[in-house]
Amino acid sequence: MVASNTVWDNVKSFFEEIGDIAYFTGRFFREVFKPPFEFRELLRQCYNMGNRSMLLVGVTGFILGLVFTLQSRPTLMQFGAESWMPSMVSISIVREIGPVIIALICAGRIGSGIGAELGSMRVTEQIDAMEVSGTNPFKFLVVTRIVAATLMLPLLILLGDAIALLGSALVENIKGEVSFLLYFNQVFDSLKFSDLIPATIKSFFFGFAIGLVGCYKGYYCSKGTVGVGEASNAAVVYTSMLLFVIDFIAVFVTDIFFGI
Amino acid sequence: MKLENGIAPILEIKDLKKTFGGNEVLNGFNLELYKGENLVVMGKSGAGKSVMIKCLVGLMRANSGSIKIKDQDITQLRQEDLDILRTHIGFLFQGSALYDSMTVRENLLFPLRRHKKRLQLKEKSETLVREALSNVGLEHTIDLMPAELSGGMQRRVALARALILKPEIILYDEPTTGLDPITSKEIIQLMRNVQDTYDTSSLIITHDVDCARVISNRMILLVDGINYAEGTFPELSNSKDPKVQAFFKN
């Protein structure tokens, strides 16, 4: 009886949370098109999320391309197919691995940052102070962060992809004596818009998910400093799961419209 | 509506009730604040003082009762109208609640950004910020971050921020909590100066008897969610009621 009550409570709180997130998302769409617009704060957030994530994304992308090429090389060599390396790596990175890995990195860097920042603002009554001063904290804090994350993620992913290809080219140059020019010629020969466009569209959704979950968890944080840690942690965990769900849907939709 | 010397209260709470789960925190609380008055609400920790003050500014929704500020029932107002009404109220939070990612200047500019034009404040924003800071004796901290200030200084900057829109009512939530006795006295003196300078009405939530003695014109004791006793500091401190006396011991 107790066990069934606990299960029922968990199911109930799960659906309540889904409802709360849906309401939060609805409120975002209501507020995002309504003036006054907080352009300065939006730019500040874009700078914080974009510029300050570049190094992390760059290093991750570089290592990703490097390792991916190093690991794939022996297998391709067994089949005498090293010449396919640029096209295989570029399609894999641009379509799937780049967006997902960079988005996961950003979920950790950006999502947890938003969750912790808003969470600490909530528990120290800073959000209440904004509300009492007659300013809409949702518009100032939440809308700007979600829009900034949605705009910055595609750019960060493009940057990460480019640097990953550079890392891959470096390995090919050292190990296979392939020139950078030849490598990138092959990359651009094999990449099509139908590879790039769905991946870019998908990355907007990744950014939206990172911003939304981070803001939701932080904005409704409670239980003091423990709650801030929980908000930050939950932002990363929930976002990471959501990214894979979005990725699955994106691949499914891409298959329908472009064919994989 | 009750009148004091023929004047209607600037703030009036009637029969306010608020519960959390099955726990009744406020159970028909009443209050009137008149222009120029310093009203102190005292109560033990967990008596519902902070809940009451949060209901007062719309941060919490009461279960029932009415809250009228300048003749407008805030429980019935649309969000936009509530935001406008809030510009007539300054709120000093218990923990100061300064925006820690902004400098002192930006903290004070924040409420001005949206409401300066509507409130027809003719002075430049920078002038208003410096004036508010100089009234709390902290003009030199204008470019510092909140983390670089002491607890007392943070409280004073928070008061300057609460005053920047020149509100008619100031709500103080435990203004001296967490401060040493000397800084507490400075804050209390500052509250008195503020009232002289800005001609405000103040509602002060506290359990600091010294603060209540110095600042109050009138006091309400909040016990079990209701106004248990009401009067001036001398009247209440000389009361024979043991529950009232419990507040003034030591």
The answer to whether B33 and B9 are in contact (CB under 8 A) is: yes
Q: Is residue A28 part of a domain?
A: no
Question: In this complex, which of B54, B58, B114 lies closest to A135 when CB atoms are compared?
Answer: B114
- Minimum Cα–Cα distance from B82: chain A residue: A134
- Interval B95-117: pLDDT, tens: 889 999 999 999 999 988 877 66
Q: Do A132 and B83 touch (CB under 8 A)?
A: no
What pLDDT score does B103 carry? 95
The number of domains in chain A is 1
The answer to whether B25 and B65 are in contact (CB under 8 A) is: no
A228 CB neighbours in chain B (<8 A) are: none
Cα separation, B243 vs B43, in Å, equals 11
Domain of residue A193 covers: 37-257
A133 CB neighbours in chain B (<8 A) are: 86-87, 91, 110-111, 161, 165
In a mutational test of the B interface, the residue from A44, A133, A228 whose CB has the highest number of chain B CBs within 10 Å is A133
Q: Is residue A230 over pLDDT 80?
A: yes
Q: Check CB contact of A259 with chain B, cutoff 8 Å.
A: no
Q: Is residue A174 part of a domain?
A: yes
Q: Is residue A177 over pLDDT 50?
A: yes
Mean pLDDT across A199-204: 94
What pLDDT score does B1 carry? 47
- Interval B9-24: pLDDT, tens: 899 999 999 998 888 8
Q: Is residue A93 part of a domain?
A: yes
Q: Is residue A12 over pLDDT 60?
A: yes
Q: Is residue B235 over pLDDT 60?
A: yes
A120 CB neighbours in chain B (<8 A) are: 100
* Distance separating the N- and C-terminal Cα atoms of chain A: 49
- Interval B131-148: pLDDT, tens: 999 988 899 999 999 999
Cα separation, A116 vs A225, in Å, equals 10
Q: Is residue A80 part of a domain?
A: yes
The answer to whether B175 and B191 are in contact (CB under 8 A) is: yes
Q: Is residue A260 over pLDDT 80?
A: no
Percentage of residues in chain A having pLDDT higher than 90: 72
Q: Is residue A17 part of a domain?
A: no
Q: Do B101 and A117 touch (CB under 8 A)?
A: yes
What pLDDT score does B11 carry? 92
Q: How far away is chain A from the Cα of B235, in angstroms, using its nearest Cα?
A: 34
Q: Which residues face A65 on adjacent strands?
A: none
Q: Is residue A175 part of a domain?
A: yes
Q: Is residue A113 part of a domain?
A: yes
Cα separation, B54 vs A90, in Å, equals 57
Phi-psi region of A34 (alpha: psi -120 to 50; beta: other; left: phi over 0): beta
Domains in chain B and their CATH numbers?
9-88+169-184+200-230 (3.40.50.300), 94-166 (no CATH)
Q: Is residue A150 over pLDDT 80?
A: yes
Q: Is residue A43 part of a domain?
A: yes
Q: Do A135 and B83 touch (CB under 8 A)?
A: yes
Q: How far away is chain B from the Cα of A109, in angstroms, using its nearest Cα?
A: 18
What pLDDT score does B247 carry? 84
Q: Do B95 and A125 touch (CB under 8 A)?
A: yes
Mean pLDDT across A43-64: 94
What band does B194 get if pLDDT is binned at 50, 70 and 90? confident
In a mutational test of the A interface, the residue from B54, B55, B59, B92 whose CB has the highest number of chain A CBs within 10 Å is B59
Mean pLDDT across B187-194: 87
What pLDDT score does A98 carry? 95
- Interval A71-103: pLDDT, tens: 999 898 888 888 889 999 999 999 999 999 999
Written as six digits, the tokens of B149 are: 């200030």
- Interval B204-230: pLDDT, tens: 999 888 889 989 999 999 988 888 999
What pLDDT score does A115 carry? 94
Q: Is residue B183 over pLDDT 60?
A: yes
A128 CB neighbours in chain B (<8 A) are: 54, 59, 93, 97
Q: Is residue B246 over pLDDT 90?
A: no
Task: Indicate whether this complex's ipTM tops 0.90.
Answer: no
What pLDDT score does B4 carry? 58
What pLDDT score does B250 carry? 57
Question: In this complex, which of A121, A128, A134 lies closest to B87 when CB atoms are compared?
Answer: A134
Q: Is residue A167 over pLDDT 60?
A: yes
Q: Check CB contact of B20 with chain A, cutoff 8 Å.
A: no
Q: What's the pTM value of the predicted model, to 2 decimals?
A: 0.88
Q: Which residues face B204 on adjacent strands?
A: B40, B172
Q: Is residue A205 over pLDDT 90?
A: yes
